[in-house]
């Protein structure tokens, strides 16, 4: 193989490029924007005078593709988190706070102890979750399990909302089942929360670019691909504003762009066309010592609160309604939740609201059925992206797996 052209430097593209460079291939990485990382980029914010992540993301300790990628680029130590699978919640309506404490192994004996599970639940309440693990045949979560009760309101609903970025009742039961199989069903060792430190760019992006540079890869920023050309069963050219690059007979292309761009570049590509928003908020306020690094909020405008050394941040999934709201209104809503949960002053600190309107594909059965595989009808062209048929929802783990899968197709 002469050269592998990877189009798109989000995590799927970086994963594919790292995989191919690690195999000794000559790699050219082509990115439309001025920086790598896609929706997981970090940037210096002049208002808050600090480096922010475009969105707050957490990784689970069982995300094996993610840790393989981080180990390859030498940055696995930049994910931090507790040694046990604990997770804190605060119910604003009831004024209640609790921590779930699963045991490490797959046999969930922790459910037998009231002090370890969600208050107001019994061990038997957790059994329907395992109904998601089997074949679902296009069902929604609402058709597969009961979507009501204390356990749903205080754990399952918020957890699946965050994982799928889709209202859980109408979301794909198959995708929910994949999440459960790879986390809850494997025991606490598989779902210890990990957060990038100091930021996503330092953990996932800069080390990958360094890895690629050390292996002679060429990275071209601010170079949007306008079209691809085809000849028979091959992709034959890449057209950018700089002109057309011919794809040699032994060259290959991995297209790791969002679905709306990929549909423009590939004839008759069936791909997800419905998307859900995520809203993130960052506040320049150093959290008090002992503040939970990640806390689920029940009954508020915020859904998850993240504590970093120099700021407090909020993430809200399936945030279509909030994405249309005024930014200052959102900042005041979110800070009110933060102040109530962490007993902080009500005065609004410096803030930044980030709206990602097409954060992920809508994880419904209909949209899941539209996800293409990595292989295309052109023998030297493969697809990557969390929107491809990874079997997972639109997550970092899905994006990184897709890059490795695409590399396998053309490698």
- Which tens digit of pLDDT belongs to each residue from 340-367? 999 999 999 999 999 999 999 999 999 9
Rounded to 5 degrees, φ, ψ at 140 are -85, 165
- Domain termination residue (choose one: 144, 161, 191): 191
- Which tens digit of pLDDT belongs to each residue from 10-24? 999 999 999 999 999
182 in a structural domain? yes
Residues 60 and 171 in one domain: no
Rounded to 5 degrees, φ, ψ at 208 are -65, -45
* Cα 199 from Cα 202, distance rounded (Å): 6
Residues 266 and 122 in one domain: no
Q: Tell whether the model's pLDDT for residue 1 goes beyond 90.
A: no
Residues 356 and 385 in one domain: no
Residues 100 and 139 in one domain: yes
Residues 403, 12: contact at Cβ < 8 Å? yes
- 370: its two tokens: 């539209």
Residues 256 and 387 in one domain: yes
Residue 118 to residues 114, 134, 152, 389, Cα–Cα distance (Å): 8, 25, 10, 34
32 in a structural domain? yes
- Which tens digit of pLDDT belongs to each residue from 248-274? 999 999 999 999 999 999 999 999 999
Residues 113 and 178 in one domain: yes
- Which tens digit of pLDDT belongs to each residue from 147-179? 999 999 999 999 999 999 999 999 999 999 999
Q: Identify the sign of the CA torsion 353, 354, 357, 363.
A: negative
Residues 93 and 170 in one domain: yes
- 136: its two tokens: 């679902």
Contacts of 137 (CB under 8 A, 6+ apart): none
Share of the chain above pLDDT 70, in %: 100
Q: Is the pTM of this model over 0.85?
A: yes
Place of tokens 């994982």: 163
- 338: its two tokens: 């933060």
322 in a structural domain? yes
Beta strand residue intervals within 256-339, DSSP E: 275-283, 294-298, 304-308, 311-316
82 in a structural domain? no
Residues 202 and 184 in one domain: no
User: Containing domain of residue 312, as a range?
Assistant: 275-361
- Domain termination residue (choose one: 173, 191, 209): 191
Determine the pLDDT at residue 411. Answer: 86
* Cα 383 from Cα 35, distance rounded (Å): 21
- Domain termination residue (choose one: 124, 156, 191): 191
Determine the pLDDT at residue 298. Answer: 97
Rounded to 5 degrees, φ, ψ at 141 are -60, -40
List the beta bridge partners of residue 59.
194
Q: What is the mean pLDDT of residues 21-50?
A: 97
- 365: its two tokens: 């059965």
Place of tokens 């085809």: 230
First to last CA, the chain: 8
- Which tens digit of pLDDT belongs to each residue from 183-222? 989 999 999 999 999 999 999 999 999 999 999 999 999 9
169 in a structural domain? yes
Q: Closest Cα partner for 282 from 48, 28, 99?
A: 48
Q: Closest Cα partner for 118 from 88, 144, 83?
A: 88
Determine the pLDDT at residue 130. Answer: 86
Place of tokens 């504590």: 307
Residues 232 and 332 in one domain: no
Place of tokens 């539209």: 370
81 in a structural domain? no
Q: What is the mean pLDDT of residues 81-102?
A: 96
Please count the structural domains in the chain.
3
Assign residue 315 the CATH number of its domain.
3.90.660.20
For residue 284, how far is the Cα from the chain centroid? 24
* Cα 374 from Cα 369, distance rounded (Å): 14
Parallel, antiparallel, or unpaired for β 243-246 and 234-240? antiparallel
44 in a structural domain? yes
Q: What is the mean pLDDT of residues 296-302?
A: 97
Q: How many residues can be counted in the chain?
A: 411
Residues 138 and 148 in one domain: yes
List the beta bridge partners of residue 5.
28, 253
Share of the chain above pLDDT 90, in %: 97
Assign residue 23 the CATH number of its domain.
3.50.50.60
């Amino acid at each position: 193989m002469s050269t592998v052209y990877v189009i798109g430097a989000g995590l799927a593209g970086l994963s594919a490029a790292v995989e191919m460079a690690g195999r000794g291939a000559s790699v050219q990485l082509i990115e439309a924007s001025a920086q790598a990382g896609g929706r997981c980029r970090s940037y210096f914010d002049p208002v808050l005078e600090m480096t922010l992540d475009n969105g707050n993301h957490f990784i689970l300790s069982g995300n094996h593709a993610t840790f393989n990628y981080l180990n390859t680029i030498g940055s696995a130590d930049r994910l931090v988190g507790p040694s046990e699978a604990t997770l804190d919640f605060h119910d604003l309506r009831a004024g209640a706070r609790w921590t779930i404490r699963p045991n490490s192994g797959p046999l969930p004996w922790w459910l037998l102890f009231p002090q370890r599970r969600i208050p107001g639940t019994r061990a038997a309440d957790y059994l329907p979750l395992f109904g998601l693990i089997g074949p679902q045949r296009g069902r929604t979560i609402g058709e597969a399990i009961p979507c009501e009760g204390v356990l749903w309101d205080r754990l399952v609903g918020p957890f699946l909302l965050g994982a799928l970025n889709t209202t859980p009742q109408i979301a794909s039961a198959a995708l929910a089942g994949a999440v459960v199989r790879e986390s809850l069903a494997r025991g606490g060792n598989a779902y210890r929360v990990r957060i990038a430190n100091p930021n996503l760019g330092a953990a996932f992006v800069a080390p990958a670019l360094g890895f690629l540079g050390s292996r002679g890869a060429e990275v071209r920023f601010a170079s949007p691909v306008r079209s691809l050309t085809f000849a028979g069963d091959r992709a034959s050219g890449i057209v950018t504003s700089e002109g057309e690059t011919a794809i040699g007979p032994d060259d290959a292309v991995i297209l790791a762009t969002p679905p709306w761009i990929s549909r423009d570049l590939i004839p008759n590509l069936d791909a997800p066309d419905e998307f859900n928003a995520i809203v993130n908020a960052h506040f320049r306020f150093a959290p008090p010592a002992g503040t939970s690094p990640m806390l689920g909020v029940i009954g508020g405008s915020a859904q998850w609160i993240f504590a970093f050394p120099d700021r407090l941040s909020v993430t809200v999934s399936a945030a279509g309604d909030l994405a249309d709201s005024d930014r200052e209104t959102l900042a005041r809503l979110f800070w009110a939740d933060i102040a109530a949960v962490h007993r902080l002053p009500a005065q609004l600190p410096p803030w930044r609201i980030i709206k990602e309107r097409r954060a992920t594909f809508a994880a419904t059965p209909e949209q899941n059925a539209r996800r293409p595989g990595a292989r295309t009808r052109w023998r030297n062209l493969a697809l990557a992206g969390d929107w491809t048929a990874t079997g997972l929802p639109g997550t970092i783990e899905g994006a990184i797996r897709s890059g490795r899968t695409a590399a396998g197709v053309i490698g």
